[in-house]
Structure 1
Amino acid sequence: MASTASDVLVDVLVNWGVDTIFGIPGDGINGIIEALRKRKDEIRFVQVRHEEAAAFMACGYAKYTGKLGVCIATSGPGGIHLLNGLYDAKLDHQPVLAITGLQFHDLVGTYTQQDVELDKLYQDVALYNQRIMGAAHVRNITTLACRTALAHRGVSHITMPVDLQDQTVDEDMRAPRNVKGHNTDLFAPELPVPSEEQTRRAVEILDAGQRVVILAGQGALRATDQLERLADKLGAVIVKALLGKAAVPDDSPFTTGQVGLLGTAPSQEALETCDTLLIAGSTFPYIEYYPKPGQARAIQIDIDAARIGLRYPVEAGMVGDCRLALDILIDRVKPHPDRSFLQKAQAGKAEWMTLMEERGTRTDTPMKPQVVAWELGRRLSDTALVACDSGTIATWWARQIPAKRGQMHTLSGNLASMAPGLPYAIAAQIAYPDRQVVAFVGDGGFSMLMADFATAVKYGLPIKVIISNNRSLGQIKWEQMVFLGNPEYVCDLYPIDFAKVAEACGGKGFTITDPKDCGAVLDAALAHPGPVVVDCIVDPNEPPMPPKVQAKQALHLAEALARGTPDALKIAATVFKDRAREII
């Protein structure tokens, strides 16, 4: 029987099916930590090394499971540290609950130690954001926080003064209108069905289309079969946003892979030449990669009406669950006998994959980062969970690691934050202890939160961390040169021996420098029963070039090299060699 405010909070979490909380204890949440200790058989507390990692883990847990991810931090700096991971959840629409502490209720606002009013700080990141005022307030607020995060797929935040956490239920006066038992922990999610008017309009547009492209995003991850059946009926090409990488397996005859700066040439070609665009569960943010306005008639499926028409002008907006909406379209659209658009895309994909294999099997040194991705992709199990990081690493993940049916892939999408790869992998392994989990990260991102590799060791999580170590902030380096025409500046990183870091944390470390050894070392790493870091030393001058290089981008690169970029001759030689091999 719950006796304190903290007991009530934990009781509500248990009722909502929460089984894991990520965080660090602290004096500002001592009452809640004690309540969690008493219910440790029902809720697992995962102690992390940094609150930012805790928030990323909560977001990753939500991404991989669809459940509510929960993190907790103490008052002041602990709560502040959560923010980056919470913004990751907000921008990628993941249900996450953050719990924080406040100072004593009668000292808030008096400049006492750690006097940060976190509910005010969280006003932008949280859909639901409340300060608990006493034991009788807890059940209502916690219930609404859980319900809101799940219903609207976003962040909820509750904070409670430290002294109120120990307040007994009997001590707190219940308001007359706060009738005991008036609320419920029941959550019955509804899968909305698009309106008949918009559905009919969408069918008319698709029936009239000759060159149809389906852009699949995160909202279509559960609709793999529907996407392929609709594409087959329409002779359509499926292109994928980064968060939709696993929506359709890359060996599907209907997909040409990713879109955008990290995408493929046949995907970009399909978007540039289509006359009809169906956006399925995506708000892919790079507007410049969509068809030119007026080029294509567009339909969008999204569960959130506010996102209809956000990136491209649409004629039909189907507000509803993506899988249900696609089922309706499959039943009602007419078959398209002309397969020429799809066949051209398939031919382009075959050429692109030949190029990707050539880049992924090169034996020259320094080792190319594509080799690491290619060799890893060949070895991943059919049910692997893959967590990527931001930076040049995302390019190699997008292009050289194929998504297989049954796998799950994710990264920080709209926030594009560095560092979530490791925390995501930890959360994935906790959620799915019997599945292969791999973090594919860069040295810059990994080093930000690498202390949490010790968390994987502590809890016996057999995650495999594959580091593409170019000893630089590679993406920033290339953006300085290719987008701005400026010489690379302050992007080199002091080298760290990550294999030794892994060993120091109690895990296993490997290092790869020769591409001829890459496959064998990865085999050994993936076979190891515990947590592993593989430090892959790769060529820092290998550019993550876009699928189609624009004249302006080539000019900027030439300007940057001429104006004093370090290793300019090596970079020029690498770019020229890559381009020459492509032409040949």
Structure 2
Amino acid sequence: MPNTADILVETLINWKVEVVFGLPGDGINGIMEALRTRQDRIRFVQVRHEESAAFMASAYAKWTGRLGVCLATSGPGGTHLLTGLYDAKLDQAPVLAITGMQFHDLIETCTQQDVDLTRVFNDVAVFNAQVTDATHMENLAGLACRSALAKRGVAHLSIASDVQEVPLSQSKRSKRNRPSHVPDRWFEGSRLPDPRELERAAEILNNAGKVAILAGRGARGASAELERTADLLAAPVAKALLGKAVLPDQHPFTTGGIGILGTLPSQEALEECDALLIVGSTFPYIEYYPKPGKARGIQIDRDAQRIGLRYPVEAGLVGDATETLRLLNDRLTLKSDRSFLEKAQAGMKRWRAAMTLAESKDDVPLKPQLVVKAFGDRLPDNAILATDSGQNSEIAARHIDIREGQDFGVSGTLASMACGLPYAIAAGIAFPERPVFAVVGDGGFAMQMGEFSTAVRYRIPLKVLVLKNNMLNQIAWEQMMFLGNPQFGCELQPIDFAMAAEAMGGIGYSVAQPDQVQSTLDAAFAAEGPVVIEAVVDAYEPMMPPRMPPDYEGNFRKALPETPGHELIGENIGEEPLKSLMNHE
């Protein structure tokens, strides 16, 4: 006779869950036993920290489109999940979090690890329940899976440790609780927008003279349709960071990223357009959108709640991006005036020349752009790339060109540090036949560095480039640009990451000289198994937006003289430090 934990794990198997990320603990011993006895049908991946388990579940859901699952014990095990689960919540990734609790009759008695995790998870979860017995689990397990998928968010089940082992035969079923009345299957919802909104969107776009497109992760899988839309509308496509792989970076229709780590042609396209089509994105930085009233807005999103969230729209198309774009394209007229697109393409030619200049500097200390470009050029056609949050994201976004067949991921709206390594490991678990790569900063990598041993244990074909400048560089620049304060508290104690990789059973390389970059990367890419490449780079390399806003410029001028190393910062930026990268050639 199955017990509560058995019913949970069998339900996961029925819902086609293939992997659970977690860390054992006495509050989940019953669930661990249910997993152990079914390890031929469902895989348990042990992590070194529960935060990583949640990041991996979130990333797994993003990489695959399927349900991600993480498991943690009671008390601190459960609370450690929260950062990764907020990543899933804010980026709309379907994740089921399973946590243990203390014995059912000691809850709220100040016993050890007496944390009511259902209350703790109230904000992060779209479905949140404490399981009382096996008959209750029969109803809740499938409903939790369905809720995470339907609402594209976090579902949470918390089960007291003794309840996990109670057999179904000993659970008293109420008279209204009939067995199997909750189906263990997924029902696909509507994927098509309102025809009236389609006609309105087509009318706006056909009559516009300068259309720009903003594409995000929601456009993933709709690349062919998006390319057709851009062609019909003669529209440049700016990409939110999560949408970096939607179109190849060298595609003639794309202007690359948008925002503080984006390109100047993307910013100019959104400033000058008279119509903006947003496809699968809620890019959060409102200041980079057209001024309200400057452009007519059209938005495509699966979630009606997100229509008009960032920019006023006249036509809201609620539906799947692929199907919606296909229907919209049938209503669009090919624009003969291609001047707006051609201007953006000319701007991208100048932008790429500026990036090439930054990538070719053989200065000492080593410039991060040089090593990141060389790293990115070596990625195979089926590569999966993850980055962390920080200046490394900006460098990777600008200097690694994603090609067709490659994929990219990062913590989006949460923008959490320490995500890069767990994201990469999750990719390796999801797609064992594909090589995995990560670009991370030394600050974020150090937070979850122990997970490199997880990559070693599971033989993930992973190459991690660690940009080591012994500085929380993005934070330092934000202190100066956002507030006009000198950098403070951002210096890091150096760590030998190559040696740490070797100590964890992997392979480590270190490079600090520009003339050693190519040979070091050649050796690292030829090595088998997980590899860390520590690149010791210039701590004073600036983080420059495509165009410096006036308030940033004033703050920067105020902060720079009082900032340690300001002479070196000034040398790195040049004689005219506050001009855009486009003019700094």
Q: Above 0.5 in TM-score? A: yes
Q: Residue 210 in 1 paired to residue 209 in 2? A: yes
Aligned twin of 1:568 = 566
Alpha carbons of 1:201 and 1:63: their partners in 2 closer, same or farther (altered >3 Å)?
A: same
* 1:377-405 CA-partner distances (Å, limit 9, x unpaired): 11111111111100001101111011111
Aligned twin of 2:288 = 289
Aligned twin of 1:186 = 185
Could you tell me how far apart the structure 1 residues matched to 2:240 and 2:331 are? Answer: 26
Could you tell me how far apart the structure 1 residues matched to 2:438 and 2:293 are? Answer: 41
- Matched to 1:346, the amino acid is Q
Could you tell me how far apart the structure 2 residues matched to 1:523 and 1:532 are? Answer: 12
Aligned twin of 2:411 = 412
* 1:536 match: secondary structure: strand
Could you tell me how far apart the structure 2 residues matched to 1:86 and 1:490 are? Answer: 28
Residue 520 of structure 1 deviates from its aligned partner by 2.1
Could you tell me how far apart the structure 1 residues matched to 2:551 and 2:160 are? Answer: 56
* 1:267-298 CA-partner distances (Å, limit 9, x unpaired): 00111110010000000000000000110001
- Matched to 2:218, the amino acid is G
Alpha-carbon contact 1:212-1:278 (below 8 Å) kept: yes
* 1:476 match: secondary structure: helix
- Matched to 1:495, the amino acid is P
Residue 339 of structure 1 deviates from its aligned partner by 0.5
* 1:426-479 CA-partner distances (Å, limit 9, x unpaired): 110011111110011000000000001011111111211111111111111000
Aligned twin of 1:156 = 155
- Matched to 1:169, the amino acid is L
* 1:332 match: secondary structure: coil
Could you tell me how far apart the structure 1 residues matched to 2:15 and 2:575 are? Answer: 57
Residue 577 of structure 1 deviates from its aligned partner by 5.5
- Matched to 2:260, the amino acid is L
Aligned twin of 1:523 = 522
Could you tell me how far apart the structure 1 residues matched to 2:573 and 2:316 are? Answer: 43
Which contiguous aligned blocks of 4+ residues in structure 1 show a shift greater than 6 angstroms?
Answer: none
Residue 568 of structure 1 deviates from its aligned partner by 1.1
Q: Residue 93 in 1 paired to residue 92 in 2? A: yes
Could you tell me how far apart the structure 2 residues matched to 1:156 and 1:141 are? Answer: 10
Alpha-carbon contact 1:361-1:374 (below 8 Å) kept: no
Residue 191 of structure 1 deviates from its aligned partner by 4.3
Could you tell me how far apart the structure 2 residues matched to 1:474 and 1:578 are? Answer: 21
Aligned twin of 2:197 = 198
Could you tell me how far apart the structure 2 residues matched to 1:151 and 1:527 are? Answer: 43
Alpha-carbon contact 1:4-1:169 (below 8 Å) kept: yes
- Matched to 1:567, the amino acid is G
* 2:466 match: secondary structure: strand
- Matched to 1:461, the amino acid is I
Residue 554 of structure 1 deviates from its aligned partner by 2.1
Alpha-carbon contact 1:89-1:96 (below 8 Å) kept: yes
Could you tell me how far apart the structure 2 residues matched to 1:461 and 1:366 are? Answer: 32
* 1:518-557 CA-partner distances (Å, limit 9, x unpaired): 1221122122110000000000111110001123222211
Return 5+ residue gaps in structure 1 as ranges: none
Could you tell me how far apart the structure 2 residues matched to 1:527 and 1:189 are? Answer: 44
Alpha-carbon contact 2:143-2:182 (below 8 Å) kept: no
* 1:295-317 CA-partner distances (Å, limit 9, x unpaired): 00010001110111110011000
Aligned twin of 2:229 = 230
Alpha-carbon contact 1:53-1:85 (below 8 Å) kept: yes
Alpha-carbon contact 1:357-1:374 (below 8 Å) kept: no
Q: Residue 490 in 1 paired to residue 489 in 2? A: yes
- Matched to 1:168, the amino acid is P
* 1:416 match: secondary structure: coil
Matches within 5 A, 1:364-375: 364-375=363-374
Residue 8 of structure 1 deviates from its aligned partner by 0.6
Alpha-carbon contact 1:470-1:538 (below 8 Å) kept: yes
* 1:319-365 CA-partner distances (Å, limit 9, x unpaired): 11111111011111111000000000000000000111111121111
Aligned twin of 1:428 = 427
* 1:106 match: secondary structure: helix
Alpha-carbon contact 1:214-1:278 (below 8 Å) kept: yes
Aligned twin of 1:176 = 175
Aligned twin of 2:379 = 380
Matches within 5 A, 1:296-445: 296-445=295-444
Alpha-carbon contact 2:107-2:114 (below 8 Å) kept: yes
Aligned twin of 1:68 = 67
Residue 583 of structure 1 deviates from its aligned partner by 4.0
- Matched to 1:359, the amino acid is A
Could you tell me how far apart the structure 1 residues matched to 2:409 and 2:341 are? Answer: 27
Alpha-carbon contact 2:354-2:584 (below 8 Å) kept: no
Report the TM-score, using the length of structure 2 for normalisation.
0.98
- Matched to 1:566, the amino acid is P
- Matched to 1:446, the amino acid is F
Alpha-carbon contact 2:102-2:160 (below 8 Å) kept: yes
* 1:43-64 CA-partner distances (Å, limit 9, x unpaired): 1111111000110011111111
Could you tell me how far apart the structure 2 residues matched to 1:471 and 1:544 are? Answer: 15
Residue 578 of structure 1 deviates from its aligned partner by 8.0
- Matched to 1:167, the amino acid is V
Could you tell me how far apart the structure 2 residues matched to 1:473 and 1:244 are? Answer: 25
- Matched to 1:236, the amino acid is A
Aligned twin of 1:51 = 50
Aligned twin of 2:459 = 460
Residue 73 of structure 1 deviates from its aligned partner by 0.3
Could you tell me how far apart the structure 1 residues matched to 2:99 and 2:549 are? Answer: 48
- Matched to 2:393, the amino acid is A
Report the TM-score, using the length of structure 1 for normalisation.
0.98
Identity score, percent? 54
* 1:488-519 CA-partner distances (Å, limit 9, x unpaired): 00100000000000000010000010122212
